Chains A and B, each alone.
Chain A
């Protein structure tokens, strides 16, 4: 419910007034496919009560909350659930722009252990934007019930980022998730994402474009990813980049917020 979300963000504003200087403040983005229990993870970590529901597309707005772990202050941002970051719809664009331009310290991708393959598409796309990724393999309780086994260690080494198996509904292993978030944020764990290798023709094109644009792409943005999006023919990334260059340095500007529906 829209208005409830407002109520929640008000609450988190209050939390933010906790003395800040004694904590290191870090931002964590929560991405994931719809209906993987993202909001449940969000609520469990922040103690907030963002409305949860079992249907895809429930969270279309960004919600923010805070949690403290190992004496650090984490701001958790719940992004809209999306299947990809191709920016087909407003919610996908919101999620992509946030990860890409707001540059959170860590991006947690919440995945559904019962249908991992589809969820991995998003994980792979997020890893192309940022190496600071933690995969939260959620709904493990459901997977166990359906007799589905996931080799967590192997998955972690295949992806090159930490994978934490959780069951957010019962709060299982969420402390491990927080540990992993902190480890990646602080650099204690060095992630080395294994990126998707495309066919040779695309790789060559990407290299060519990358070479051309990398001196121009603003710091912190991954030129390979920008090159890929250009190859995609994704016009919206150009718009977003231009907006970033224009307004991004302005601290009052918030990335990943909704864009108006423009029809005249």
Chain B
């Protein structure tokens, strides 16, 4: 009882005191209190800090270039291009080795099942379903991740991310969003869920929500491999062999730019409609450059990021692969469930430059975006009558020869992957951060409508102009 009354009287006292101060006075007092702290800090620092001689400020000199008005953005794009080029070039060879190794294991597994006299459905479910999707995930995703993640982490460790934020800050302010959104957006390159959490650094709830809602327009580490592979397969094929990697990297850079542009446009739209308001002022600190701890980065980015993303992909891909197999092998009226569903979605997919299988893969890939491509390959393989693919070279064969992909299909898939809804983990994070079902739903539907709009317009325009 004592406690209850004491709370009551404290509350009253607090409210009374708080209310007794006139509002103008409050602001002035706040400034004076902050001023008292700052001047104490200044006095103490002045006493204890001394500098020996003059030192050339290298950080400042580097920043003059990296964040300059005219060079900042070109340098940023160049760096991104180089990182992607290294990834594209480097991932090719290990992908081939992994694929042939993993598909050879599939043959061995099949042999074992046959020897043991296991029923065909069991073999189908476990080997052609679960194992095959696992093999696709590992061979398609692992090599680009194992190269891209350490490179990305090195840039992060160097202190380049805040420079990116600095370069993009003025665009965000022009879009009516918070400048720090450029930082949370950069975090999205690593993982959209992490990007959404990092939005906590934005003070104003309105601007924070804008940053949360638009974070998934930035391709995360889970989607980069899909973009890289598709652009290598399709866009690279149009130029001479020696320029293929460069062309593929350029396409991915273009996609990233598209993502950033859409982020800005949607932020602008949100500030004009649902989340009206003025951008608030903030100070962005450019931390000193630090020598990256390369050895540690490689270990950490492989152990933490690569294995983490891969692990998540595997956990989702195995049941999704089994499910795809069941869908592909349960027949109604001589047609599998998968074909029924794909057939149902087909005409809709065609409007968007894609097909029913692709849309099914995006739906099945909701829990983790990294499994979309593997699931798609799985469904193509299990729906068709083709022999097992021997290596990744067969990928082109599956997509182009057997399923009639054109450059438009590839571009639509890449754009859809870039713009469509965030993955399940990110949606869950958005729900946790906003505690609002409404905003979580908006975070799902708003990007989806953007993706539909963009792919529809692109496809119709291309067909109208007779380009595809």
Whether both chains belong to one complex is answered with: yes
Residues of A within 8 A of B (CB): 1-4, 7, 34-35, 49, 51-58, 60-61, 80, 84, 86, 88-91, 114, 116-118, 120-121, 123-125, 142, 146-152, 154-155, 158-159, 169, 196-199, 202, 205, 209, 212-213, 216-217, 228, 230-235, 238, 241-242, 245-246, 258, 260-264
Contacts of A54 in B (CB 8 A): 156-159, 161, 287, 289-290
Can you report 9 residue pairs joining A to B where beta carbons are below 8 Å apart? A1-B194, A54-B156, A80-B200, A84-B34, A150-B48, A151-B49, A213-B17, A230-B18, A264-B436
Given the known inter-chain contacts A60-B197, A146-B55, A242-B11, please indicate yes or no for A233 contacting B37, CB distance below 8 A: no
Contacts of B47 in A (CB 8 A): 151, 154, 158
Q: How large is the interface on B (under 10, 10 to 19, 20 to 34, 35 or more residues)?
A: 35 or more
Q: A129 CB to closest chain B CB, in angstroms?
A: 13
Contacts of A61 in B (CB 8 A): 197
The answer to whether B201 and A91 have CB atoms under 8 Å apart is yes
The answer to whether B156 and A116 have CB atoms under 8 Å apart is no
The answer to whether A230 and B14 have CB atoms under 8 Å apart is yes
The answer to whether A57 and B183 have CB atoms under 8 Å apart is yes
Given the known inter-chain contacts A116-B45, A232-B33, A233-B21, please indicate yes or no for A121 contacting B38, CB distance below 8 A: yes
B244-268 interface (Cβ within 8 A of A): none
The answer to whether A121 and B300 have CB atoms under 8 Å apart is no
The answer to whether B32 and A209 have CB atoms under 8 Å apart is no
Closest to B435 in A: A260
Q: Does B171 contact A (CB under 8 A)?
A: no
Contact check: which of B17, B23, B212, B436 meets A212 at CB < 8 Å?
B17
Q: Does B209 contact A (CB under 8 A)?
A: yes
Given the known inter-chain contacts A2-B193, A124-B41, A233-B18, please indicate yes or no for A148 contacting B51, CB distance below 8 A: yes
Contacts of A149 in B (CB 8 A): 49-52
The answer to whether B41 and A117 have CB atoms under 8 Å apart is yes
- Once bound together, how far apart are the Cα atoms of A38 and B288, in whole Å? 15
Q: A61 CB to closest chain B CB, in angstroms?
A: 7
The answer to whether A213 and B287 have CB atoms under 8 Å apart is no
Q: A102 CB to closest chain B CB, in angstroms?
A: 19
Q: A94 CB to closest chain B CB, in angstroms?
A: 8
Contact check: which of A80, A90, A120, A150 meets B41 at CB < 8 Å?
A120
Other 18 A-B pairs with CB < 8 A, given A56-B183, A233-B18:
A1-B308, A4-B305, A4-B308, A49-B304, A51-B300, A53-B153, A56-B201, A120-B41, A124-B40, A147-B51, A151-B47, A154-B47, A154-B48, A205-B29, A231-B30, A232-B26, A263-B205, A263-B436
B7, B47, B48, B202: which has the most chain A beta carbons within 10 Å? B48
The answer to whether A55 and B287 have CB atoms under 8 Å apart is yes
Closest to A156 in B: B48
Contacts of A35 in B (CB 8 A): 285, 287
Q: A8 CB to closest chain B CB, in angstroms?
A: 10
Given the known inter-chain contacts A149-B52, A261-B205, please indicate yes or no for A231 contacting B21, CB distance below 8 A: yes
A58, A197, A233: which has the most chain B beta carbons within 10 Å? A233
Q: Does B44 contact A (CB under 8 A)?
A: yes
The answer to whether B205 and A3 have CB atoms under 8 Å apart is no
- Once bound together, how far apart are the Cα atoms of A199 and B439, in whole Å? 46
Contacts of A212 in B (CB 8 A): 13, 17
The answer to whether B49 and A216 have CB atoms under 8 Å apart is no
Q: B265 CB to closest chain A CB, in angstroms?
A: 21
Contacts of A117 in B (CB 8 A): 41-42, 45-46, 49
The answer to whether B194 and A260 have CB atoms under 8 Å apart is no
Closest to B186 in A: A55
Closest to B430 in A: A261
The answer to whether A197 and B162 have CB atoms under 8 Å apart is no
The answer to whether B27 and A233 have CB atoms under 8 Å apart is yes
Given the known inter-chain contacts A2-B193, A57-B183, A216-B10, please indicate yes or no for A232 contacting B29, CB distance below 8 A: yes
